[in-house]
Structure 1
Amino acid sequence: MYLEIVSPEASLVSGEVESVTVPGVDGEFQMLNNHAAIVSLLAEGEVRFQGNPAITIGYENKFTQKNGKWVMHINGGTIEMKDNKVIVLAD
């Protein structure tokens, strides 16, 4: 599936991933390929994804790696999953 993470400053990540885990306001949840369409608010926490999408030059310091997954801390935001495309609008 395709992942794009966008912040107020720039598009931070774009490319193919195997999974995405986000901090929903009602608890953490994970999306895999062919997940049902969803729109949700995000709470403060970690967005984790597995794969090797392109990280925008100059924003690499926003990401770390833990247990083979990329991790980014967010203060909140929204997420949309539709047709194997995940868009995270992160604060």
Structure 2
Amino acid sequence: MLFHVRMDVALPHAMPADQAAELKRVEKARAAELQQAGTWRHLWRIAGQYSNFSVFDVASTDELHDLLSTLPLFPYMRIEVTPLVRHPSSIRNADF
């Protein structure tokens, strides 16, 4: 199943810079791992925001939830999830 996921990150202003840097470092490594596995299919930054649009390919909403909760920045995210299905007018049959 494909899911469109918007993630908005809001780190506390009082968080020490070194702690924020370490969180971002381990988040980047986890994101790379999931992309290499093919689970995190697309990752797009939203210009001017600490946010992204992503597409995940997982078996279920439970799997998506479990995966998202492994992200180091998860406690600081507002997440919106939209399940995706192929549009009957799409000419791109290879990307599902």
TM-score (norm: length of structure 1): 0.28
Higher helix content, 1 or 2: 2
Q: Which has the higher contact order (CA 8 A, sep 6+)?
A: 2
Higher strand content, 1 or 2: 1
TM-score (norm: length of structure 2): 0.27
